[in-house]
Structure 1
Amino acid sequence: MPIIPNFPQQLLEEHMHWHHANHYDDPSQLPPGYGQNFLNFHRQFINKVYQWYSEQGYDPRQIAGWQGVPEPIRNTSCYNRAAEARVLNNPRSFATADQLGLFIEGSNLHGCIHQEAARIYGESALNDFDEAPRTTMFYNIHGMIDEWYKNWERAAGIARGTANKSSAGGSRGRSAGASRTRGAARAGVKAGTKAKRSASVPQPHKPSISGAAQRGPLRSGPQNMPGLPLIHEAARHGTSPNNKKPGGGRNRKP
């Protein structure tokens, strides 16, 4: 069913008027805004047709978007394979939907597909703005282009989500820093309060380390037991303080 029976004249004229109002002879010299307008208009237009088409009980497979450009079209001299590769594989290289739409038109992807599909498949209406929407192949083409647009939207959505996460992470970091600052301030206030309370309560006298150093080294055990004389006495008798046998603890040869 290349030609859709009973196609609504109102929809046909809607498409015709848009193209007449937005026609430019040189697709490489399109003004800013045209690209997004092109993509959005055709998305809205084909969705209207899908709804009407479904209400007629027609086979939806006839107007389903192509999964990819048919090889006979891709093998023609006008087809820009590098442009196709960028659209499909590097959608993030387009900062905006307008850039994507301008590229699809400016690289002649859209024009070449229409032109060569009309020639190869014998659908001359595809080369006529006023008649193209009557053909099922028009929706094969524009359903596919809308998938390119959706592919870009998905890629752009991932980029925005990452940026939002980074922003949220920065906010959490700033909040955590502020919380730590407030916590430190509260700790300082508590410490100051505790110091004031301690100053008001009499504390028992504790000898300072500096005072002990002035009086000599701190010792353990009974303070009236001199350590050095014991060691000297043991050395004079050839004994160890812990071993009373002469030469105890030495390793003597026979």
Structure 2
Amino acid sequence: MHYGDFSKLCENVTGRVGLCARRGRNSVPRRPFGSAAVFDFRAICALTLFILAGCASVGKKMSTLPTATSNTSHPTEAVVLFRMVADEDGIGVPAPLTPSPRGKWSFRTEVASEQGSSSGYRTVIAGRLDPASANAGWGFLTLPPGNYRFAYSALRTKFSMADAVQSMLGRGRSTPYRVEIPPGASVLYIGTFGVSCQRAGKWFGYTLHECTSIEVRNEDEAARNITSAQLAGFAPMQVDLAAPASGQTGGVR
């Protein structure tokens, strides 16, 4: 759930809790449910919204292009370029990284840093360069040099593949891939992720889709065309395909 959705939910539920509290006082004296419950829920909402706002700020930075640099400069962040191609029962999923329109089945990018104290996955909506490339599955993230793990997640989706993770409410996470961003990189193409899925045979545990395989392909020529057209102000593109991180789950699962 994103910041805006949770904010609306808090407003709605807080209003209902307050209404119930007032009705409780009017109909049943000494009912152990009142303003304290409203206050507690508001406090929980405030704390949760604060945390979500921080996460949203970091995620927005990842999906925003850095200031364009010349070939002679030393960039501190790289544009990590990638593509996702997904199909369900043999039919291609248009714009798989784009969550609009609301309710559309789409994928989120999961990123975990392998350095520092923060080793958990962060869910990010990939940045878009232009509508045409986004519809073809191209996306990017802005990240500093270092070692990372990339995976994909989707609501109501089970990932039946090696090292995949299932979580509550049917949000699964795919096999993780390792990505290394070298110092000085400006644009880094990490590959085209091909995901094969099928409609779930039965609705169980909030699952409507099942993805059974993922692979990384090299489409560096297409990536160079995207870079030339959309990232002309950046240094030449480098290629370093993501590699499966099997057996290296550590603390970032």
TM-score category (smaller protein): under 0.3
Q: Which has the higher strand share?
A: 2
Q: Which has the higher helix share?
A: 1
TM-score w.r.t. the length of structure 1 is: 0.21
Kindly name which structure, 1 or 2, has the bigger radius of gyration based on alpha carbons: 1
Relative contact order (C-alpha < 8 Å, sep 6+): which is higher? 1
